[in-house]
Structure 1
Amino acid sequence: MTAVPERPREPDLTNALARVREVTEAHVVRTDREAAFPVEALDEMRRTGLLGLLVPVEYGGLGGTVRDLVVAAQSLSRGDMSVGMIFAMHCQQTAAVVRYADDRLRKELLPRIAAGEVYLASVTTEAGKGGHLLTARARLAGTADRLEIDRFAPIVTGGAYADGFLITMRGPGDAADTDVSLVYADREQVEVTGSGDWDPMGMRASHSVPLRLAGSVPGHHVVGAPGRFREIAGTVFGPLAHVGWSAVWLGTAAGALSRVLGLLRSPAGRERFDLGSELLLTRLSRARQRLDTVHALLAHTVEVVESGEDLSRPSRQLLLNSLKITASEECLAAVDGLVEAVGLRHGYLKDSPTRLELALRDLRSAALNYSNDRLHLADGRLALLDRGVTFA
């Protein structure tokens, strides 16, 4: 378990986010260059209690909502998309524990998350199954009281630095590959072995390395009913992934636009750029329009998710998928347009204060993070089920 620095927690969300962003800014160039996990930013999330944003107050958390998650993810991603993604995915895991873990596991785990002791990583990828979230190949073994885990995952965001893991695994015996359970393992309960390097084009600080986890956990560490991960995916994992990721991408693009506007309005920028240029103004307008479109779609989707209504209906599944697809495409397009707007020196070179080059590399991963092609196929089938073309 990672040691928690001794420092009073700051319950105010705005101040906590400002502190994490300050630390992030001090290290973002290095963590990108070295493909290094942002340990300093994570430590500040621990100190401020941000890791407990979605933990209910009765367990010592901040009692935040999905709307708070969106605000926080956007804010953190303005400085570094990797930091925002690490945080959003941790919150997705936390929400699954809050909603589906039994009383014993909630009492054991949630106060530790709230205290900053546990950063959660997601172990859902698996070699040979592509991006199929609702299937698993590795089987659980053991008894009802003690479960044996032996699991390899080709991508685990922040896994080398996680204090706990939520792992998807196939049921024991002759269970079908769709009989998937979600299991929590504390880092002290499993042997964690890295098996590869992480040297990607973007999202370099996310440190999404391959890992093997082997060990055993108590039977009550199954989150939700055994074999019922599909329900968790439909109510928590899927919705919070699409909402959280979209907030991260929007924050990244908004941060890029803000830095460009700061450059243009600075004394040096006014000398270098013609602020009356119709081409420049048009490109700025298009970038802002794209971000406002994503922001509006995100705000509407959050309302639907927070309404408590059945998210499995075709119109709501279509909305969630549309948010992910639209945000991934429009945020990247907005930053790409800004590169054109400010040109080679401030759009393409790594040493520009706009950091457009970093934002562009990071956002290129968005369409690949659960492939847009896969979502379009799902949406085509869902559209056939909604003859009336209803809207969520």
Structure 2
Amino acid sequence: MTTTPLNFTSSQPPAPKGRQASASVAERVASVAHVAQEHLEATDRDASFPRHALRQMRSTGLLGLLVPAEYGGLAGTVGDLIDASMALGRVDMSVGMIFAMHCQQSEAIVRYAASPLREDLLHRLAAGDLYLASVTTEPGKGGHLFRSYAPLHESGDALRIDRVAPIVTGGAEADGFLITMRSPHATADHHVSLVYAHRHQLTVEGSGVWNPMGMRASHSLPLTLTGSIPPHQVIGEHGAFHRIAQSVFGPLAHIGWSAVWLGTAAGALSRVLRLLRDPAGRKRFDLGSELLMTRLSRARQRLDTVHALLRRTESLMAGDTDVSGTSSQLLLNSLKITAAEECYRAVDELVDAVGLRHGYLRDSPTRLEKSLRDLRSAALNYSNDRLHLADGQLCLLDPDVRFA
């Protein structure tokens, strides 16, 4: 099992061959954001996957952000992931979430995949040939990440996959899948293995229609996956998915998601402020209104709070801390809960601040209506209620109230 630590250094390696050698991570992200902006109206209206933005992620090498330089990747840091996720979230929360979740999957491969699978997949990620989808949802388990009822069967020299997932973000477009399943020799539901499967190794069948209130471009349809893979495509050890979840899946999910949500809310506030500062806007709004100023202040305060907590969590990760500890888990969960709640509330307050025309109608340049629809999903994306229950139990393990 490979347990290479996360690379949190701030230096940028040379760009992979075949890419723009002078392009920084920020420039690559900006080019993806520009493409996402061009197709934003259509992907939201049609609830269609942002294929053009994904194509740009491939061509710029951004899918290999967290891949080490020795494999042609960008060797990005968690800070780079945060910055990129925030920038994409400012334009389209769906695109930002698609990217952040892909990076979460790629880091699991960097840290836990064994040879020769590791080398094969990392080169593909760096080249932009591998967009990853996560298959962790399962009927009947109610969002319990550490549990699986779908058995992974051993069949000769192969592992047999037969898996139903009610939500797979971007699954219809993915080149490969990281799938949680009950281990072949499991004696309990929490003995879960993580496996990788190429798309060509599976029969992938979608069902239903994706027509949500928000996050419409994430295209998170239910999928049924069946097929066989060789045993070396187990990521980490059989039955030890909880280690991957605690060290990679959980931390990078909460950090990446929170960065996207913060970007979405910050973009909304920025568009409102530009509207108010525009000469025409000054005629429509009373900039001497104490109520308006107070609402703007509260929105900014909420976002600064999330940003401070996000950067605090980043510094925790940069310190090579064992994030499985009680105080670290509480901080990570607090980040997710706080970001989900405060980013939504900030945009909700902005709707009140600018009123019906620019807060509620879909054709306003503020795009508050879309931001509000998208951010409503944040508290439901691994439910805040479930995290509060977990945190209550963790609190009992730390009677001295020590901080990470």
Could you state the TM-score of these two structures normalised by the residue count of structure 2?
0.94
Q: Which amino acid aligns with 1:32?
A: D
Stretches (4+) displaced over 2 A:
6-11, 142-145
* Contact in 1 for aligned 2:192/2:241 (Cα 8 Å): yes
Letter in 2 for 1:90: H
Q: How does 1:34-49 map to 2 (within 5 A)?
A: 34-49=46-61
Pairwise CA distance, 1:144: 7.2
Tell me the residue number matched to 1:3: none
Q: Which moved more, 1:175-184 or 1:206-215?
A: 175-184
Distance in 1 between the 2:22 and 2:136 partners? 32
**Worse-superposed segment, 50-59 or 265-274:** 265-274
Q: What pairs up with 1:129-168 in 2 under 5 angstroms? A: 129-143=141-155, 145-168=157-180
Matches within 5 A, 1:1-392: 11-143=23-155, 145-173=157-185, 175-392=187-404
Q: Aligned partners of 1:289, 1:215: CA distance in 2, in Å?
A: 50
CA RMSD across the alignment = 1.2
- Residue 103 of structure 1, CA deviation: 2.1
Does the Cα contact within 8 Å between 1:10 and 1:49 map onto a contact in 2? no
**Matched length:** 387
Which structure 1 residue ranges, 5 or more long, are not aligned? Answer: 1-5
Q: Distance in 1 between matches of 2:187 and 2:23?
A: 45
Separation in structure 1 between the aligned mates of residue 355 and residue 43 of structure 2, nearest angstrom: 25
Query: Contact between 2:265 and 2:346, CA under 8 Å: does it hold in 1?
Result: yes
SS in 2 for 1:209: coil
CA–CA distance in structure 1, aligned partners of residues 22 and 60 of structure 2? 5
Runs of 5+ in structure 2 lacking a partner?
Answer: 1-17
Corresponding letter in the other structure for 2:366 = T
- Counterpart Cα distance in 1 of 2:146 and 2:268: 35
**Residue type matched to 1:116 in 2?**
G
Once the two structures are TM-superposed, the CA of residue 130 in structure 1 deviates from its matched residue by 0.8
Residues 379 and 77 of structure 1, relative CA distance in 2, 3 Å threshold: same
Going from structure 1 to structure 2, the CA distance change for 1:107 and 1:357 (only over 3 Å counts) comes to same
For 2:149 and 2:43, the matched residues in 1 are separated by 34
Is contact 2:186-2:239 (8 Å) kept? Answer: no
Residue identity in the other structure for 2:263? G
Percent identity of the aligned residues?
Answer: 68
Q: How far apart are 1:17 and its partner, in Å?
A: 1.1
Q: TM-score, normalised by structure 1?
A: 0.97
Cα distance in 2, alignment partners of residues 347 and 338 from structure 1:
7
Any idea what the Cα deviations from partners look like across 1:186-206, whole Å, max 9, x if unmatched? 111101100111111110100
**SS of structure 2 residue aligned to 1:197:** coil
SS in 1 for 2:118: helix
Tell me the distance in 2 between the aligned counterparts of 1:216 and 1:266. Answer: 59
Residue 10 of structure 1 contacts residue 48 of structure 1 at CA under 8 Å; is this kept in 2? no
